[in-house]
Chains A and B, each alone.
Chain A
Amino acid sequence: MPESANELTELLRALATREAAATPTVTLGTVTGQQIVELAFWPGTDEAVSADLLRIAGVALPETGGRALRSGGTTAFRVGPRRVWLAAPEAAHLGEALLDSLSKHGALVPLGHARAILRLTGAAAADVLSEVLTIDLDPLAFPDGAFATTALGRVGILVHRVGSVGGACAFDLYLPRSYAKWLASLVIKAAEPYGVAADVA
């Protein structure tokens, strides 16, 4: 099977060929090879789902929204009362593993191809995002591991404060694939005054 195409690669390559900012304070990159599965479970199955999740994916069912739980390579986002997103490297084949155990408790929907992940790293990452996101990104309110479903350019996205990546503050934006290129170009526009570079490695 060929490698899945990434909507952001071309845009970031174009950014990388521009004259680099003298002192970039934010770097844009993308996360590839990521599998995302939406798990929706029926009322009264929380405990069973949590146990299965822990056993199969190694991550507990987050009790509330707003904070992602991460274990190994898997991150769990509680995006609704009975709805979780699980993000993990494709190699983990998480969807297939979950399908066997969890389909009796609810529904599993693969969404890995439905999202493109834009990663912002650097000292100015939060400042850049505050130009385009309305949520409170102060570390006191939005610490490492926090996530929110919010609007970017009037499009619904999920933003996750990953924590330190390579010693720098990092945010992952889960962008609807069809809007990804447009949204990323909006973020680039917001980032330009801060000095922006692209990581296309």
Chain B
Amino acid sequence: MTARSHRLPEGGRIDRSRTLSFLFDGQSYLGHPGDTLASALLANGVRVVGRSFKLHRPRGVFAYGVNEPNALVTLGTGVDGEANVRATMIELRQGLVAHSQNRWPSLAFDVMGVNDWFKSAFAAGFYYKTFMGPAKKSWMTYEPWIRRAAGLGRSGTGSDSRRYGRRNITTDVLVVGGGPAGLAAACAAGRMGVRVLLVEQQPELGGSLLEDREGSAAASFVDMMEQELAGLDTVRVLKRTTVFGAYDHGVFGLVERPSPEAAPAAGERFIVVRSRAAVVATGALERHVPFGDNDRPGIMLASAARTYLNRYGVLCGRRVVVFTTNDHAYPAALDLAAAGATVSIIDPRPGPGPAMKAAVERAGVGLLSGHVVAEARGRAGVQSVLVAGYDAARGGTQPVWFELPADLVCVSGGYDPQVHLTSQLGGKAVWSDAAASFCSARQVGDAWASGAVTGVMSTTEVIADGLAQGRAAAIAAGGRGDPGGLRVSADLAASESPAAMMPLWDVPPPPSFRRRRKRFIDLQNDVSQSDVALAAREGYVSVEHMKRYTTLGMGTDQGKVANVVGLANLAAVTERAIADVGTTTYRPPYTPISVGALAGLETGQHSTPLRRTSLDLLHEAAGAVFVDAGHWRRPWYYPLKGETIDEAYRREALAVRTTVGMVDVSTLGKIDVQGPDTATFLDRIYVNAMSTLKVGRVRYGVMLRDDGLVLDDGTVARLGDAHFLVTTTTAEAGKVMSHLEGLLATVWPDLKVHVASVTDQWAAIAVAGPRALALLQDAAGARAAWLSDLPHMGLADGVIDGLPVRAHRVSFSGERAYELFVPSGYAAALWRRLAGSGGRHGLTLYGTEAMATLRIEKGHVAGNEIDGRMTLGDLGLAGLAKPGRHFIGSALMRREALMAPERPALVGLVPIDRGQRVRQGAILQPAGGPHEGHGLGHVSSTTFSPILGHYIALGFVAGGSARMGGQVDACSPVHGETVRCEVVSPKFYDPTGARLHA
């Protein structure tokens, strides 16, 4: 160990045969495989690793795992920089780059450190009391500045280049935690023949056993268990994986961190586990004890100091003070002393158990019982502690104190069972006086808690408990047989310490101290004992309120070191029992999970499903500009070189009116309906009768919802006596299919009707315009009679260029038109054939924009009009429903409110000044005003009509036909425009339909 290095020449579980270099704040350091960033920094003598959230106080590494409150860094740089990552959870890799956070210009000299000088002003609720005035909305002004000043790391703002994986795993028994209980439980369940998934958040199995020295009984037990589990083909182990959430029905959320050997682009992996039973062996984490300036770098949990020593070969200090309220920290003192440190133990109790006391004496470790550490000194790193006598009966410090030099202070205030997962499942954590903490319920549904999470702290008892709960879970999951026992070394049992711990939640300063130092409870959020007391004085006596007022327990560590200490202090100042104060609600995630991992593979083009028609590649080749229509992408328009969208769609629409156009309508919903009762069924779901439809004919139809409002419209084609093809709008295809399936399954299960979605089976191409038939005849060649003879609203099966085609002579554009249905695999061939013949007929491809123009010119309603609020009458379709017929919606469509004469009804709108444009969504107001409120109605669809030479619009106006010939103002507040319009018939073009038969 050199002057700066704290790495011991031997020991630890790191790979000393290899050296890794890494950068922290631009400074190069060396470490080894097996190190964490935290252990490597400590090995290099780096004590200050960050600045605190609010007061910008220098902070050092405090823990060694997921509970680290201080050592938050930004990992990586640029867009992939990841902020607020716990250095204790970052495995070292070659070339790793990390930066400290929340400081400027440097970690050593932080301008915002001035906050610490005014710390008395930054008490709980400071912001809310200070920044609420003088004006009503002043907080809005202050907030961005406050957040900027108080924030921690900054995330990159570009696109994250990492690959975040996803995994689904189904197992019989999930064992959460690879400590002694989890190892035993996995072994027991695995021996009983059920599939076991053992999950450990550290890179190695062992849990708290890894705190012990190499070659110890604990380490030997871990080795033995690893071998045993490796030999069980029923057991699968996931390391570096945290179970962050427990949900109903055996579902658990996990996040797996990439190993240091993984590709640099590898991100976290989000795993969903479905398990028949679970063993929650999440253990317990050490908590601290608040005393004056207990946040100084060099102060850490005793378990952390021991782990850095035994696992990473790092001796964090030479002059060590171990301040503990329990025997579990004594092994840390003994190990540190054995490594060469001068160690003093400060214990408020009368003393430890006799075995531990003897061990301390043998090791020559100083032990001062009945005393506490009252204050730490040394701003950038602890240099000494002030020790005072402690009156256990009164709960206060004695006036007499002395100073003890120290460069490392190890604190242990006991252990807090990690009850998060069982609490998330609904098991209420119960206070235990023996453990002086909240412990997990034993069983919640099919999840069994095991080990330290239930308050059991003896390693041998934990192992036995793991076996028992593993067996219980395995039985619940269908396991059989007896799992047997485990061979546990007598040394493991002998190393245990049975002495009782002393709950100590705060060390008030000796009466003789002149200055009162902050006694921090929540290090990450700078919440001190005085903040909790202030919150209680100001009425925040509920633990949930206190949490939100002080921010205790928030942030990346969610108060894993602080929560119970905070609850106990709230109990003390409100003179209640801790059990009565209770806990805050435990919610996922247990530890942070990156948003990238939650998104997984569903990023970029995979964030939303994309549907393509079978003609998609041909549209691309034709230069189509696409538009999203639900999941579908559809050709919007096909611009010629230099053409704008307006120029393109007007050209396309005009071509349909004058020659012929072709459009891909494959996205229409298509439902095959078959069975002897099909006609009856369709009569019940459409407002107009379908049983009267003849085979070979097509009919327009409208469906209502139960409440009498219009659900959807489309066509019904009768293919045979008991065989129909129903088409729906693109948008409502799924909803209509569900509607029909629901009715057949629940309302009329007696009907022999089968419905099947054939939207993907059939592509559809509409050919429309005066030259449509000529084009089809040309494409079909000599065998075109079936097309030539087809009447309006008729259908026929035939062949075009060897391809099987079904033609429906229906029209959405108002021109003579044919919808050609072809099996999707042949659609491209048919399209190419038609396009090949089209040149002679002036064929123009058109997209959805021109399609909308054509249907608006004809006054046909579409999704803009059928918006879920309209009745048949509103849409001008009341004539479809014959009086006396019964169908879905027929009862409620006649409600008084739906029959009111003042309801908005479909009308056409034409600007008085033909040069003006009417905006979609414009509010229709009385001409000349007043322009107030919701007005008379709204504009639902608008377009420039190339055939008419001006803008036209469809809209809904109160009173409808009564206003025909009158005027309204179309007001668009968004555009600041008001356009005076004449109310006209919605059939702007060819109102008699003569062109359909042309």
Contact = CB atoms under 8 A, between A and B. Distances in A.
Interface string B601-630: 110011001111110110000000000000
Contacts of B612: 7, 178, 181-182
B629 to A, nearest CB: 12
Contacts of A153: 602, 606, 609
Interface string B500-540: 00000000000000000000000000000000000000000
Interface stretch (A47-55, A128-136, A163-171): A128-136
Interface stretch (A19-27, A62-70, A108-116): A108-116
B613 A40 contact: no
A181 B195 CA distance: 35
A97 to B, nearest CB: 18
B759 interface: yes
A72 interface: no
Interface residues of B, number: 49
Interface stretch (B327-335, B353-361, B750-758, B949-957): B750-758
B157 interface: no
Nearest to A104: B676
B760 A176 contact: yes
A140 B195 contact: yes
A182 B759 CA distance: 17
Interface in A1-53: 1-7, 10, 38, 40, 42
B165 interface: yes
Contact of B614 (A7, A42, A107, A110): A7
B828 interface: yes
Interface string A129-170: 011111111101100000000000111000000000000000
A89 interface: no
A113 B823 contact: yes
Contacts of B404: none
B728 to A, nearest CB: 15
A107 B675 contact: yes
Contacts of A193: 163, 165, 266
A125 B196 CA distance: 22
Contacts of A5: 614, 824-829
A106 interface: yes
Q: Could you tell me the dominant secondary structure of chain A's interface residues? A: mixed
Contact of B674 (A107, A115, A190): A107
A96 B762 CA distance: 18
Contacts, number: 134
B829 A10 contact: no
Interface string A173-196: 000111101110110011011000
A4 B825 contact: yes
Contacts of B754: 40, 106-107, 109
A38 B169 CA distance: 31
Contact of A114 (B609, B611, B824, B828): B824
Contacts of A181: 610, 612, 616
Contact of A189 (B606, B610, B756): B606
B167 interface: yes
B803 A141 contact: no
Contacts of B756: 38, 40, 107, 109, 111
B761 interface: yes
Given A178-B613, A182-B611, A2 B824 contact: no
Contacts of A109: 672, 674, 754, 756, 758, 761
A190 B601 contact: yes
A177 B760 CA distance: 6
B760 A178 contact: yes
Given A131-B601, A154-B609, A190-B166, A1 B802 contact: yes
B274 interface: yes
B547 to A, nearest CB: 35
Give the residue among B601, B752, B760 with the most A Cβ atoms within 10 A.
Answer: B760
B755 to A, nearest CB: 9
Contacts of B227: none
A177 B612 CA distance: 8
Nearest to A10: B617
B922 to A, nearest CB: 35
B695 interface: no
Nearest to A176: B760
Given A132-B601, A193-B165, A111 B761 contact: yes
A183 B611 CA distance: 9
Contacts of A112: 761, 823, 825
B609 A131 contact: no
A132 B612 CA distance: 21
A106 B606 CA distance: 39
Contacts of A3: 825
B609 A113 contact: no
B168 interface: yes
Contacts of B131: none
Contact of B803 (A2, A10, A38): A2
A84 to B, nearest CB: 12
Given A107-B674, A113-B760, A141-B170, A155 B802 contact: no
B611 A179 contact: yes
Q: In the A-B complex, list the 5 residue pairs whose CB atoms are closest, starting with the nearest.
A: A4-B825, A136-B170, A107-B674, A114-B761, A107-B754
Given A134-B168, A138-B170, A179-B610, 4 more contacts: A109-B758, A130-B169, A134-B272, A178-B613
6 contacts: A2-B803, A5-B826, A110-B761, A178-B759, A182-B610, A189-B606
